[in-house]
Structure 1
Amino acid sequence: MKKEMDKISDEKYSLSENNYEEKLFELCGITRELEEKKFFLGANKEVSELQARLLTVIKRLIDELNTAKVFKINRNEFLGNVSHELRTPIFAIQLSLETLIDGAVNDENVSMDFLNRALKQTERLRELVDDLINISKLEAGMKISKRYFEINRFIKDVVTELSGLSEKRNVVIKIESGVSDKTMAFGDEERLKQVFVNLIDNATKYAAENGEIIIGIRNTEKDVIISVKDNGVGIPKEDLPRIFERFYRVDKTRSRDMGGSGLGLSIVKHILELHNSTIRVESEEGKGTKFEFNLPS
């Protein structure tokens, strides 16, 4: 019986290896051997222990195999999306520069237009690379540094920093705070700033002409509740479950025209999960979208 015990030792079936299917095939053979021995030996403590150990190892291997397959599918899909997203701005930059180099444009204004197009795509490329780095760090288990900070002051600073963006897109950002200036929230300010930048940037892209974004702040005994609401185009009901997926876009044409990596909401979700918080969303087509989350106070 020691022979079978040795065959299913934890060392041999370490889950750090990747030949899961081969291991499961071998375990099936051990199972058959065990059944044969059980037929001759009858009820036996050692046989029972071996059975229990075998079932545990098989369960772990099946779970790990399923995880590995899902990871492979997600990884391949992710790499395909990244390749597509990188190729689009690179091609646009190349086309603009080749047109200028070939001397096809003699008008200075038209030349400047081509250069501006190339610059816009360069900015889009930089944003995509930055977001890819951020999402990779978050999924790898990025460490965050939490501390108490004044939530009103924090949000005012973020809105001031983003004022140029909102003015450029003719959108007004308002803060409606129902808490005192001494109200504290607990979290990583730098990472939470990314949350607001992504939510507000997203809202300005889809806001109505001369639109409005309202940042709401209220509190309970334990939490500060923050919302970001716009009066834009809204999100179709069937798209809501998927908006936090990487590279998922509701309006693909408009999203690419407005720029953006397609990773913003996924980054928001990951950062809030690191704060033990969940992002909630309400939306109605033609009326706008509201995102909301809690932070400990």
Structure 2
Amino acid sequence: MEYSFTDLVNMEELCELMDSLCKDYSISCTIVDPLNTMILFTSGIHSVPCGDENSGMNCLISGDLFSPEDFSFSPVCAEGIKREGNTEYGIDGEHKKNHYCLYKCSHDLAHALLPFVFEGKHIVSVHIGPFIPEHDSGCKGVVGDVPLLSYSEVEMLVSRTGKVLDLLVNAGKLTLKLRECETGLINYEKELSSCRKKLSSFDRMKKELISIFSHEVRTPLSIIKGYNELLYDGILGPVCSEQADALDKSLLSINKLERIVDSLQYIDMDHSAHTYDFLPLNFSDIVETTLMQSARAIKEKNLKLQTEFPENMPSIMGDSKKLFHALSYLLDNAIKFSPAGSTISISARQEQGRLCISIRDNGIGILKEDISRVFEEFYQADSSLTRNYSGVGLGLNICQRIINCHNGNIRVESRMNEGSTFHIDLPLMIPEDNLFYQAD
């Protein structure tokens, strides 16, 4: 995008700096926009009539609104030859060269012209003068107090002027870019806000869909499970061993599907929205219920089970249904990764006012770099479609959230090809525990 000089420069700052510069040299200066033939600044320190007395023109602006070829000045110095020069200036070490010219008016006074070029475009012209060259003592028709300057002083003045303009123009360009960036950020923020609203809408739709799906699936699934159990138990008539085996596998799959449907309730809303009913519990009862539910999966892989609990299991405060889900996910995980015929151990002990539970398997183990991620939602070490182990990657994440809501902790120790041990610790019941809490 191309900018004009007035787009880039703060004119109040320009006038203030140029006034100060002109006073240092007691000289007049005019800044002209060559594109719009408009005077942007004039110091007006000296006014010297030029040409016809009645013309109203003076050396300060006579012919300066146009290109050097149209000047009424004669482009020769006192020696009768054209004089040109280069001045260098720059910001942050970036040196720039601007060509400037000296001209004489009809009063035999000198003027300097600096066409200021920015990014290859002539955006402003600076006219300095009139002044008397130091070597030239005889001038005709001089009016007013005209300063006497050496050429080195002229070059210094032109250089300082160029630096002032360069500083202001670059600062102006940075300011415009900053405004563009701010406008862009505002537009991005609006777009981001719109995306957030859409995402929130999609998230709400997802939650509604999951809630409806889990509700609609759970009812017919319970009926299917109920009739399969009636058939398996022979209540609806005798079944042969082959039929019993088929029903057993069917019930095993139904139990897995039940676990998946149960897990959906933990992602259909924020977990803090779940209500927990905290009551005194004996954790061994939860373990027993969990083992009964997993009996078919344990039998299918011919796994051995070892339990080690204290004779007087201390009571805890907890939600039995939620803790059953948590323990079920951990036991399912152990069963899934344990080789057939291996052993799963479940132990509990009291330690420093907490109940510590450990579930150990002799499965494939977890890579060291994956241990920190096993509790992430939907995380699976092997997420390919050809993976050997089924699952959606929610069980351990749900388990961690349930344990956390009981003011407990969960961690895992594992070595590849040696198995994994999940450790849980929960606070023991104290007399002043309330009977109802809502998870924070």
Q: Which residue of 1 aligns with 2:303?
A: 171
Helix, strand or coil: the match of 2:275?
coil
Task: Spell out the pairing of 1:153-172 with structure 2 (5 A cutoff).
Answer: 153-172=285-304
Worse-superposed segment, 233-242 or 124-133: 124-133
Q: Which residue of 1 aligns with 2:264?
A: 132
**Does the 8 Å contact 1:138/1:270 carry over to 2?**
no
- Structure 1: where are the runs of 5+ without partners? 1-64, 87-117
Pair 182,126 (structure 1): closer, same or farther in 2 beyond 3 Å: closer
Pair 122,231 (structure 1): closer, same or farther in 2 beyond 3 Å: closer
Count of equivalent residues: 194
Quick one: distance in 1 between partners of 2:411 and 2:398?
Answer: 14
Worse-superposed segment, 146-155 or 252-261: 252-261
Helix, strand or coil: the match of 2:273?
coil
Identity fraction in percent: 29
CA deviations 1:34-54 (Å, max 9, x no partner) are xxxxxxxxxxxxxxxxxxxxx
How far has the Cα of 1:147 moved from its partner?
1.5
Quick one: distance in 1 between partners of 2:415 and 2:300?
Answer: 25
How far has the Cα of 1:193 moved from its partner?
0.5
Alignment equivalent of 1:251, drawn from 382, 389, 394: 382
CA deviations 1:81-124 (Å, max 9, x no partner) are x99xx9xxxxxxxxxxxxxxxxxxxxxxxxxxxxxxx9999986
**Does the 8 Å contact 1:170/1:209 carry over to 2?**
yes
- Structure 2: where are the runs of 5+ without partners? 1-191, 214-249, 429-440
**Does the 8 Å contact 2:252/2:296 carry over to 1?**
no
Task: Spell out the pairing of 1:31-110 with structure 2 (5 A cutoff).
Answer: none
Alignment equivalent of 1:146, drawn from 248, 262, 278: 278
Q: Which residue of 2 aligns with 1:228?
A: 359
Pair 182,226 (structure 1): closer, same or farther in 2 beyond 3 Å: closer
CA deviations 1:171-211 (Å, max 9, x no partner) are 2222112x223521221111000011100001111012211
**Does the 8 Å contact 2:409/2:426 carry over to 1?**
no
Q: Which residue of 2 aligns with 1:194?
A: 325
Quick one: distance in 1 between partners of 2:348 and 2:405?
Answer: 21
Q: Which residue of 2 aligns with 1:239?
A: 370
How far has the Cα of 1:216 moved from its partner?
1.0
Q: Which residue of 2 aligns with 1:282?
A: 413
Task: Spell out the pairing of 1:11-30 with structure 2 (5 A cutoff).
Answer: none
Quick one: distance in 2 between partners of 1:158 and 1:120?
Answer: 14
Quick one: distance in 2 between partners of 1:278 and 1:204?
Answer: 22
Worse-superposed segment, 126-135 or 287-296: 126-135
Quick one: distance in 2 between partners of 1:180 and 1:277?
Answer: 23
Pair 233,205 (structure 1): closer, same or farther in 2 beyond 3 Å: same
Select the structure that is richer in helix: 1
Worse-superposed segment, 198-207 or 125-134: 125-134
Helix, strand or coil: the match of 1:136?
coil
Quick one: distance in 1 between partners of 2:258 and 2:361?
Answer: 26
The structure with more radius of gyration: 2
TM score, norm. by length of structure 1:
0.56
How far has the Cα of 1:275 moved from its partner?
0.5
Pair 294,201 (structure 1): closer, same or farther in 2 beyond 3 Å: same
Quick one: distance in 2 between partners of 1:152 and 1:122?
Answer: 25
Pair 168,122 (structure 1): closer, same or farther in 2 beyond 3 Å: closer
**Does the 8 Å contact 2:305/2:344 carry over to 1?**
yes
Pair 172,120 (structure 1): closer, same or farther in 2 beyond 3 Å: closer
Pair 187,235 (structure 1): closer, same or farther in 2 beyond 3 Å: same
Helix, strand or coil: the match of 2:312?
coil
For the aligned residues, what is the CA RMSD? 3.7
Q: Which has the higher contact order (CA 8 A, sep 6+)?
A: 1
Quick one: distance in 1 between partners of 2:386 and 2:327?
Answer: 19
Q: Which residue of 2 aligns with 1:270?
A: 401
**Does the 8 Å contact 1:124/1:260 carry over to 2?**
no
TM score, norm. by length of structure 2:
0.39
Amino acid at match of 2:336: K
CA deviations 1:107-145 (Å, max 9, x no partner) are xxxxxxxxxxx9999986664443222233462421101
Given the alignment of the two structures, is residue 219 of structure 1 paired with residue 362 of structure 2, yes or no?
A: no
